C-alpha cells in the first residue's frame, strides 16, 4: 500500500469506527421472510426458578441435556453457570470462580451430555463432564493477568492463529465429535478442531468482510446430522451454510439480523433463528423485529413466533435458544436478564 492509500485507509477506518462507536454497532435489520405464518405458542411463565434472593444477569447461553436439565450461562456480578432441573427448579451452580469464566457468551451440551462453555472475556472454550465436576478440555488460552489492566483494544485484530481465540462466540459438534467454534468478535472466522482439540480447518480470517468465506461477527453456529455448519453471521444479516470441511455452500439472507441459531434433534431437524431487537434502535423498530423463525435446514421458512418486549413473554434480545425438542424452546435474553420457556403449538 502506498502512503496515500494507507492514509485513506486509516481515515476510512477511523470514520467507520467513529460511526460504529456512536451509533448502534449493528443496526437492526428487518426480516424479509414476512410471509412466514405465525406459529401458535404459549409461554410458560416463571418456569425457571432462581435461588431465593439471587438473580441472573445477562443471559448469554442456554442449553439442555438429554435428561431434561437446563443450563444457563450468564453475566452476573461474576460470570456464572447454573443448572436447573426438568421441573425448572434451580439445582446447582457449576464452576463457581472458574478461571475460564469472565464474560459469558455461550453454553451448549454435546451428544454425550458434556457441558461446553464459551467465554469471550477469557477467550477460552471449556468442556466440562456431564455433572460439571471436571474440566475435560480447554481450547484457546487466557492472556496473563501480568499484562496488567488495559482498556478495550483499539488496534488491529490479532493474526489468524490456530489455537488463540479472540472473543469467541459459540461451539458445536458433528456426529464424529469434531469441534466447531465461531471466533468471534475480533476475528471473523469459523474453526474446526478434531475431537482431541487439534486444528483441522478454518473459514474466514481476522478481517471483516461480506463476501463468500467472509464474516462480520460470526455470532453463533450449529451443525446438522450430516455435518453441515450453520453460522449466524450477525453483522452481515445472514446465516452461512458450510460443509463439514468448512467449504462455502450458501447463505440465508431473509431472516433479519442473525443473532443466534439452533438445530433441533430427531430424524427431521429444524433450524431456528433469532432476529432480536436490541436497545439502541429507534422508535418504531419494536413492532418490526424480534421474532424467532423456524425453517427447514434448506432455508425454507416454516413460520415465526414471539415478539420484542421488555415485559415477559416478550423478549429483549434472544441471545441463544435451546431447541432439542423443536416444540419446546428455551430462550435466553441478554437485555432483560431472563430465561423463558415456550411451547410451540404448530401453525395457527
Positions that interact with another protein (CB under 8 A): 22-24, 53-55, 57-58, 75-78, 102-103, 121-123, 142-143, 145, 147-153, 166-167, 186, 278-283, 286, 309-312, 314, 316, 334-337
Instruction: Give min distance, CB of 125 to another protein, in A.
Output: 13
C-alpha cell at 86: 426438568
Which among 77, 8, 39 has a CA at the least distance from the CA of 292?
A: 39
Instruction: Give min distance, CB of 297 to another protein, in A.
Output: 33
56 burial (CB, 10 Å; 0-12 / 13-18 / 19+) is: buried
Q: 101 or 193, CB closer to another protein? A: 101
Task: Look at the alpha carbons of 266, 182, 17, 144 in this order and tell me if their dihedral is positive or negative.
Answer: positive
Q: 100 or 218, CB closer to another protein? A: 100
Q: 114 or 336, CB closer to another protein? A: 336
Q: 37 or 57, CB closer to another protein? A: 57
Which among 300, 169, 179 has a CA at the least distance from the CA of 234?
A: 169
Q: 57 or 209, CB closer to another protein? A: 57
Instruction: Give min distance, CB of 166 to another protein, in A.
Output: 8
SS3 113: coil
Instruction: Give min distance, CB of 120 to another protein, in A.
Output: 8
* 103 in Cβ contact with 121 (< 8 Å): yes
* 90 in Cβ contact with 84 (< 8 Å): yes
Q: Measure Cα distances from 23 to 198, 233, 281, 282 in Å.
A: 40, 20, 9, 11
C-alpha cell at 346: 404448530
Instruction: Give min distance, CB of 332 to another protein, in A.
Output: 14
Instruction: Give min distance, CB of 195 to another protein, in A.
Output: 25
CA distance 234 to 229: 15
Q: 290 or 299, CB closer to another protein? A: 290
The strand pairing partners of 315, in sequence order, are 308
Which among 252, 250, 245, 202 has a CA at the least distance from the CA of 227?
A: 245
Instruction: Give min distance, CB of 267 to another protein, in A.
Output: 40
CA distance 86 to 47: 10
CA distance 220 to 168: 9
Q: 46 or 175, CB closer to another protein? A: 46
Instruction: Give min distance, CB of 33 to another protein, in A.
Output: 24
* 217 in Cβ contact with 234 (< 8 Å): yes
Q: 157 or 202, CB closer to another protein? A: 157
Amino acid at each position: 500500500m502506498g502512503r496515500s492509500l494507507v492514509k485513506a485507509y486509516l481515515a476510512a477506518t477511523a470514520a467507520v469506527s467513529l460511526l460504529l462507536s456512536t451509533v448502534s454497532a449493528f443496526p437492526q435489520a428487518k426480516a424479509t421472510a414476512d410471509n412466514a405464518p405465525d406459529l401458535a405458542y404459549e409461554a410458560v411463565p416463571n418456569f425457571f426458578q432462581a435461588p431465593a434472593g439471587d438473580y441472573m444477569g445477562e443471559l448469554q447461553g442456554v442449553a439442555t441435556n438429554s435428561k431434561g436439565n437446563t443450563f444457563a450461562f450468564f453475566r452476573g456480578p461474576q460470570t456464572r453457570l447454573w443448572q436447573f432441573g426438568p421441573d425448572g427448579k434451580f439445582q446447582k451452580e457449576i464452576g463457581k470462580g472458574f478461571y475460564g469464566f469472565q464474560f459469558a457468551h455461550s453454553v451448549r451440551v454435546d451428544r454425550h451430555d458434556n457441558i461446553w462453555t464459551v467465554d469471550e472475556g477469557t477467550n477460552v472454550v471449556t468442556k466440562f463432564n456431564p455433572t460439571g465436576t471436571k474440566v475435560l478440555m480447554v481450547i484457546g488460552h487466557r492472556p496473563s493477568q501480568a499484562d496488567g489492566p488495559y482498556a478495550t483494544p483499539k488496534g488491529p485484530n490479532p493474526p489468524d492463529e490456530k489455537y488463540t481465540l479472540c472473543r469467541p462466540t459459540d461451539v458445536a459438534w458433528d456426529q464424529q465429535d469434531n469441534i466447531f467454534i465461531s471466533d468471534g468478535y475480533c476475528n471473523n472466522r469459523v474453526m474446526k478442531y478434531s475431537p482431541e482439540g487439534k486444528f483441522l480447518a478454518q473459514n474466514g480470517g481476522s478481517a471483516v468482510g461480506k463476501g463468500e468465506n467472509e464474516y462480520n461477527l460470526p455470532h453463533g453456529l450449529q451443525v446438522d446430522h450430516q455435518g453441515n455448519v450453520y453460522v449466524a453471521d450477525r453483522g452481515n444479516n445472514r446465516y452461512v451454510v458450510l460443509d463439514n470441511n468448512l467449504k462455502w455452500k450458501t447463505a440465508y439472507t431473509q431472516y433479519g439480523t442473525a443473532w443466534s441459531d439452533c438445530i433441533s434433534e430427531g430424524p427431521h431437524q429444524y433450524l431456528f433463528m433469532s432476529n432480536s431487537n436490541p436497545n439502541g434502535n429507534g422508535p418504531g423498530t419494536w413492532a418490526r423485529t424480534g421474532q424467532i423463525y423456524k425453517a427447514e435446514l434448506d432455508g425454507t421458512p416454516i413460520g415465526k413466533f414471539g415478539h420484542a418486549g421488555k415485559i415477559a413473554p416478550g423478549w429483549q434480545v434472544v441471545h441463544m435458544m435451546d431447541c432439542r425438542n423443536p416444540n419446546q424452546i428455551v430462550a435466553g435474553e441478554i437485555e432483560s436478564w431472563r430465561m423463558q420457556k415456550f411451547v410451540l403449538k404448530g401453525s395457527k
